[in-house]
Amino acid sequence: MTETPWRAKGLLFENCSCQLICPAHVSFKQYCQNDRCRGHWSMHITEGRYGEVSLDGLNIVVAFDSPVQMYSGNWTQVFYVDERADAAQRQALETIFRGQAGGPWQTLAGFVSKQLDTRYVPMTFEDAGRLKRLTIPEVFDTTIQAIRGSDNTSEAVLSNLHNVIHGPVHVLARGTTDHTDGPLDIHNEKTHGLYSDFSWDNAA
């Protein structure tokens, strides 16, 4: 059976319970700084398509809880999908982010042992330059703020670092997240954060 071609571009920002910089961001084989790593990847898709299904303008959050060494697996995660997505778009996003359509999320799916039921929820996404925010009423609120570089004007960045979901340049930030929904409580304050422009597909 031929795999459905897909692609997506947009903004990815994250926050977890580690201090700057999360060791697992460098490699999942590194040990995180607390008893577990709790955080999220939040994505705003500016341009995307799964087969004939447009994904333009949609948001998705992947909230996770993992052991102190993420490489060991046994992650628990949950997806929050923009309620504006129609049935075809919801199916497309589920397929991509569950790792069933190839591409970078196929790699991450191999670490997940418990996938909670997806929530379809209203979301508000804000991109104010160095500040990124995504909120889900009564469930999730995250804000990250970029760190200034040594010139006090441009952002501090990481580059030339292999990461399967982020773009080539990662802007360092500090983030605050409150997530109170089921077993994945996340309460981070001014901890590891960063963002990048991603570009994914399932091309060979």
Q: What is the predicted pLDDT for the residue at 1?
A: 38
Mean pLDDT, rounded, of the chain: 93
pLDDT tops 90 at residue 136? yes
Over residues 174-188, mean pLDDT: 91
Residue ranges of alpha helices (H) inside the chain are 23-26, 87-97, 104-109
List pLDDT tens digits, range 17-55. 999 888 888 888 888 888 889 999 999 999 999 999 999
- What are the strands, taking DSSP E only, across 26-100? 31-50, 53-54, 59-69, 75-82
- Helix H or strand E segment including 177: strand 169-179
50 C-beta neighbours (distance < 10 Å), count: 21
Residue indicated by tokens 């960063």: 194
pTM: 0.93
**Which own/partner pairs from 152-156 qualify as long-range (CB within 8 Å, at least 24 positions apart)?**
155/130
Percent of the chain with pLDDT over 70: 99
- Do the beta carbons of residue 176 and residue 190 sit within 8 Å? yes
- Do the beta carbons of residue 172 and residue 21 sit within 8 Å? yes
- Helix H or strand E segment including 160: none
Spacing of C-alpha 96 from chain mean position? 13
Q: What is the predicted pLDDT for the residue at 2?
A: 52
Q: What is the predicted pLDDT for the residue at 28?
A: 83
Task: At 116, list the tokens.
Answer: 């909670």
Maximum Cα–Cα distance across the chain: 53
Q: What is the predicted pLDDT for the residue at 32?
A: 84
Residue 30 vs residues 51, 78, 91, 120: alpha-carbon distances, Å: 37, 23, 34, 33
